[in-house]
Every structure is written in structure tokens, then in C-alpha cells.
Amino acid sequence: MKAQYIRGASLDVLLDPDAAAWRSVKSATLPLSGTPSALQPTAAVRTEFPEGSIGAIKQVSVAIAHNGGELAFRLEWSDASAESGAGGQDDVGFPDAAAILLPVRPGAPLMTMGAPGQPVNAWYWRADENGTGRQVTAQGLGTTETIDRESVKCRGIHRQSEWAVVIARHLRVKGNQQVAQIDVGTGTAFSIAIWEGGHRERAGIKSFALGALEGWHPLTLNRSS
Amino acid sequence: MTARKHQLAMVMDLNKCLGCHTCTVACKTLWSNGEGMDYMWFNTVNTMPGRGTPRDWEAMGGGFDARGNARPGRLPRRQEYGEAWKFNHDELYHGGNGDSRHLEIKGGTPEWGPNWDEDEGAGKFPNSYHFYLPRICNHCTHAACQAACPRQAIEKRESDGIVTVNEDRCRGYRFCQSACPYKKIYFNHQKKVAQKCIFCFPRIDEGVAPACARQCPGRLRFVGYRDDQNAPIYKLVDKWKVALPLHPEYGTEPNVFYVPPIGPASYGADGDIDESRPRVPDEYLVSLFGPKVLDALATVKAERERKRITGKSELMDLLIAYEWKSMFGGLDRDPSTVSVIQWTKKR
Ligand code: SF4
Ligand code: SF4
């Protein structure tokens, strides 16, 4: 996919899922697959989520834009109920959530969430922390680590049985080897994960966008409109 | 036993529990009075037969089947624990209202709480019966909570087998909670991490027994290492075989053991005491502690009799606990001589 260059669009504008700027950006509908049960790290998780039961959200509409400094993903998917899970009122629910996954360096494996020495970087949004995103890194299943809660910005709106969520970050962040540094002109690759809180989806229990490039979707960025 | 050096354990003699909740309050005051912990009781004492805490926890699944496979389990709901009730203390003590007000629960009328069915028990008068069952985390040898966690955020200490949550690793996925068949691991909805009984490890590290044990006025909680052959735990569990885990069929190999309650005999139809019929039905105790409970009961009864007749019984002397400090397997340092005991990062 291509990240559309929008000259002069502020981060605030990009973060608004309803902003007029997004209307000029072409979106694509990506099919989502559930993660395999067999890949879940413990027997208790595999027992609770047998093969075929994972991945409640089947597709997501994606639009990608950048302003030369920041990269934003606008996701839209249907979900009849907004699950905000925790936040003090929670009982046994889990929040709806979404993440953009990026390889830190080319070749990082997607299916295993990276590998030792080959980290992947997630920009993570969850409904109960709407606004604050988490910058996450992983080098294999079960190794995710939140690095900071500042650099990833997001905003989600739920209406008419649909989530519209924008997740954004600066193309480059200072001095961190564990996260993706993106350059205009070079491009990268991405995947998307969505957790349906109403189906108790959390951790490795999620749907994700499987692309043609060893699982990744190629992403190009340039400065032409 | 595994390659682990030692395993700490607790034995509780159910013949002596008064249901006073001193243990529960000792624990609550020490460990679970922080943010998001209102509803958590790492130590509970429930009347048996009863629905327990959380309500009907024995039907929530988890643990392992006979072949060691993870049994499906589910998360307890907040109403099943019972919310922490808020009272009108302000109005009562500081409102200048005199006698015109009485103690009331604020908000809606509660429908359940951690001791809702206290002292109800079972059976028909004059053969009604009940006993108290104090419960903490069992610090299981085959801990289902630990096995379920996809992030290895639950650790079993190498030196003593205490099971703790590493809150820095925990991301609030709650698989541990579904997996623990005893429902003794809690979720902090504010901090979004799992929290549980820590067997007072910061006290243990200073040679002090857990607060629930040390403060128990009933003197029924023994503490110590499983393999310390000179201490009460080994004698009660392995030598005399009178202390048994609760629901051994859950497959987690608990390290909390119970001396089963003997209870009085039944009254016959003629109003006379019928020594052949125990008030607490054997089947009920078997359903809690497995078939070995019958031998344990027989041993305790026989030793009671021996003590009555001869005045001598190692087992009864142990259970009576003449020397309070002898109950703690050497962990008998006075906590007031320790400078700080605190909740550290790994809890
Ligand atoms: S009782 Fe539950 S929480 Fe405690 S160690 Fe066993 S499985 Fe884990
Ligand atoms: S403090 Fe001792 S006697 Fe009192 S309820 Fe707890 S275990 Fe029973």
C-alpha cells in the first residue's frame, strides 16, 4: 500500500478520523485471519481458544497518510459493540484494541512477533486508553514490552456499529534500536492486528492482516501527492 | 518434589478454627489495602458446606485433569466475589446526627459478599453442622496460574516455592485467573495486573511467619518447609498423614494442607447420641479432601483416644500446639524486631 502525502496536515488533523483530509486518501479493505491456536504459548490458552475460534473481526478498511514527519493509519471495521473493558468499571471484559505492526529491520518474522535480534514494533491502541497509545516492541511470542506511552498517538470513535481509529507516530523517534525508524522514499512493511474485546480477545488471541511479503504488506512513502 | 530446593507449606487444623477472621484482617491490613484492591481477600474464611468465595468457585473450572491436561476454566465476576461495601461512617460519626441515624450500606442493597452464607452450614436440627474453611493461595507445586500465563509473568521462587506475580511482566491477560481452580489470584482493575497471596515472603525473608498464621488466635496454622523432618509440617503431612490438600483432583499439588474436622456425633431418633454416625458426613469430607480423608479422620480419632487414656500422643501434642512458636518451623522471629517489611516490586 501507499501512504498518501498530505502536505501541511497537522498531527491533530490526521488524528481526527472524520477529518476532511482523509477523504482524499485511498483506502483498501484487507482481509484478517485469526492467529493459529497451535501457536499460542500455553495449554490453558489453547484450551480456551481452540483452532477456528480465534479472530472475530474478519476485515479492516485501511487508509495511510503522512505529512513528511508523521505517519498515520486510519482503520475502520464493523463491531456492533464498543468494548472498553478495564478502566475501573471492568468485570470480566476485555477492551477492543488494534495495533500497527512494523518490522524494525527488514526480515523480522511476522508470525512469531519477531525473533531474538529481529525485533518488531507495535503501535498499540486500546479502547480503555483511547488517546494514549503504547509503543511496544517484541522479539518473539510472549516477549512484548511497552517502551513508552508518549510517542504513539491515537484516537478512536465508535458509532453505528463501527470503529474508526487513527494510530500515528513520528516517522523517526530518537535513539531507540528496538523500534521502527521510517524514511520517506525507502518505505517499509506493515501488518494490522485487531482484538475483539467482546470475544475475550487479548494477547496472541487476535485477527491480523496477512500480506504477500512473507506475511507483511509492503508500504511505500514518498513526497509526491 | 521437583529440583526446587525447598517448598514452604502451611497446615491448617480445621478442628480449631473459630471463624474469627483475624487472619483475613491481618492479611488485608498488611497487603491488600492499596489502589484497586478493595475487593481482594488473599485470605478468606468460609462456612462449609457453603458456596465459598468467590461464590461457587468450585464450579468455575481450571487446574488439570487426571492426565495433566489444562481443564477449561472461567473468570469470576465481581459480583461473585462481592464488592467492598461502603458504609455511612461520615454521616454517623461526624454529621452531628446523634441517634437519628444508624449504620447503613451506601448505594444499592448488596446481594452477595465474601461471607454471605456465614454460619448457615447444612443438616437438619438437631443434626445441623458446619465448620470453617480458611483459604489462601496454595503455592502449588504444579501451579495452574503459572502454567497458563503466556508471558511467564508468574514465578515460583527457587528457594521456597512461593508463587508470585511479576507485575512488570504482567499485562493483564487474566489467563491465570481462569486457570487457578481455587480462584485465589485476583485482577487489579485499576493497575491492570494480577495480584495474589505472597505467603508474606518479605516476612519469610526475615524469618517471620506469615501474618495470617502468626495472628491466628486459634493456633491452627502451622508453617514450615515440607522437607524439614523435625518440624510440624512434615510430621502432620508425611509422617502422620493427617493433613491433606483441598481438592487434590484439581491436579495442582497444593502446598496448603488441612487436618479434617471431626465434628460431634449425631443424635439418634431417640434423642441419644449415636457415636456411629458422624455429624459431618464422611462423603462430604471425601468430596473436599479425597478418599484419604477417612484414614486421616481415623488417625486423629485414635490419637485423641490415646491422649485421653494415656496422656501421651505425639500427634495430639503437635495439634494442641502447647508451644505457640513451635508451629512456625523456625520462622518464629518477632516481626517488631524487623525494621521494614514491605511490598516490593515482585509481589
Ligand atoms: S492456588 Fe491458584 S494462584 Fe495459588 S499457586 Fe495454585 S494455581 Fe496459582
Ligand atoms: S485467625 Fe485462625 S481461628 Fe480465626 S478465622 Fe483465621 S484461621 Fe480461623
For chain B, list residues whose CB is within 8 angstroms of any CB belonging to chain A. 36, 69-73, 75-79, 144, 147-152, 171-175, 178-179, 189-190, 192
Quickly list H helices, A82-130: none
Three-class HEC string of A175-190: CCCCCCCCCCCCCEEE
pLDDT for res A92: 80
Which among A40, A88, A94 has the least Cβ separation from residue B150? Answer: A40
Closest residue in chain A to residue B35, using alpha carbons only: A88
Task: Region of A224 please: left (phi>0), alpha (psi -120 to 50) or beta.
Answer: beta
Q: Is residue B16 part of a domain?
A: yes
Q: Is B140 in the pocket of ligand 1 (CB under 6 A)?
A: yes
> All 3 cell numbers of residue B335?
516481626
Which site among B55, B83, B149 would you substitute to test the A interface, given the most A Cβ atoms closer than 10 Å to its Cβ? B149
Q: Is residue B90 part of a domain?
A: no
Average pLDDT for residues B31-36, to the nearest whole number? Answer: 94
Whether the pLDDT of residue A196 is over 60: the answer is: yes
The residues pairing with B302 across neighbouring beta strands, listed in sequence order, are none
Test site for ligand 1: of B75, B138, B193, most ligand atoms within 8 A of the Cβ: B138
8 Å CB contact of B150 and A203: yes
Distance, CA of A68 to CA of B111 (rounded, Å): 58
Please tell me the least confidently modeled range out of A134-138, B100-104, B231-235: B100-104
Atom of ligand 1 nearest to the CA of B146: 8
Q: How confident is the model at residue A216 (pLDDT cuts 50, 70, 90)?
A: very high
From B186's Cα to the closest Cα of chain A, the distance in A is 12
Q: Is residue B116 part of a domain?
A: yes
* A chain contacts of residue B178, beta-carbon cutoff 8 Å: 44, 48
Q: Is residue B107 part of a domain?
A: no
Ligand nearest to the CA of B14: 2
DSSP classification of residue A15: H
Test site for ligand 2: of B17, B46, B136, B214, most ligand atoms within 8 A of the Cβ: B17
> All 3 cell numbers of residue B49?
458446606
Q: Is B19 in the pocket of ligand 2 (CB under 6 A)?
A: yes
pLDDT, tens digit, for every residue of A91-103? Answer: 888 999 999 999 9
Residue B322: count other Cβ atoms within 10 Å of its Cβ: 8
SS3 helix, strand, coil % of chain A, rounded to 5? 10, 40, 50
A144 phi and psi angles, rounded to 5 deg:
-55, 145
> All 3 cell numbers of residue B331?
520462622
8 Å CB contact of B72 and A43: no
Average pLDDT for residues B227-251, to the nearest whole number? Answer: 97
Whether the pLDDT of residue B341 is over 70: the answer is: no
Q: Is residue B13 part of a domain?
A: yes
pLDDT, tens digit, for every residue of B137-153? Answer: 999 999 999 999 999 99
pLDDT for res B347: 46
Average pLDDT for residues A170-182, to the nearest whole number? Answer: 90
Between 3.40.50.2000, 3.30.420.280, 2.60.120.920, 2.60.40.1190, what CATH number should domain A2-221 receive?
2.60.40.1190
From A205's Cα to the closest Cα of chain B, the distance in A is 10
Distance, CA of B188 to CA of B191 (rounded, Å): 5
Complex-level ipTM: 0.93
Q: How confident is the model at residue B343 (pLDDT cuts 50, 70, 90)?
A: low
Q: Is residue B226 part of a domain?
A: yes
Q: Is residue B91 part of a domain?
A: no
> All 3 cell numbers of residue B80?
461473585
Distance, CA of B31 to CA of B249 (rounded, Å): 30
pLDDT for res A87: 41
Which residue range forms the structural domain that includes residue B281? Answer: 8-85+112-346
Distance, CA of A193 to CA of A138 (rounded, Å): 14
Average pLDDT for residues B241-265, to the nearest whole number? Answer: 97
The CATH number assigned to the domain holding B332 equals 3.30.70.20
Count of alpha carbons within 13 angstroms of residue B36, beta-carbon side: 17
Using CA atoms of A65, A67, A68, A71 in order, give the dihedral in degrees to the nearest 10: -40
Whether the pLDDT of residue A32 is over 70: the answer is: yes
Quickly list H helices, chain A: 11-15, 43-48
> All 3 cell numbers of residue A65?
497518510
Ligand nearest to the CA of B175: 1
Q: Is residue B159 part of a domain?
A: yes
Q: How confident is the model at residue B108 (pLDDT cuts 50, 70, 90)?
A: confident
Q: How confident is the model at residue A224 (pLDDT cuts 50, 70, 90)?
A: confident
Atom of ligand 2 nearest to the CA of B132: 8
pLDDT for res B140: 98
Residues whose CB is less than 8 angstroms from the CB of residue B14 and which lie 6 or more positions away in sequence, other chains included: B131, B132, B133, B220, B258, B259, B260, B261
pLDDT, tens digit, for every residue of B275-331? Answer: 999 999 999 999 999 999 999 999 999 999 999 999 999 999 999 999 999 999 999
Average pLDDT for residues B151-167, to the nearest whole number? Answer: 97
**Do A3 and A183 form a contact (C-beta atoms < 8 A)?**
no
Average pLDDT for residues A7-12, to the nearest whole number? Answer: 95
pLDDT for res A86: 44
Identity of the amino acid at B328: F
**Do A35 and A205 form a contact (C-beta atoms < 8 A)?**
yes
Q: Is B211 in the pocket of ligand 2 (CB under 6 A)?
A: no
Percentage of residues in chain B having pLDDT higher than 90: 85
**Do A83 and A95 form a contact (C-beta atoms < 8 A)?**
yes
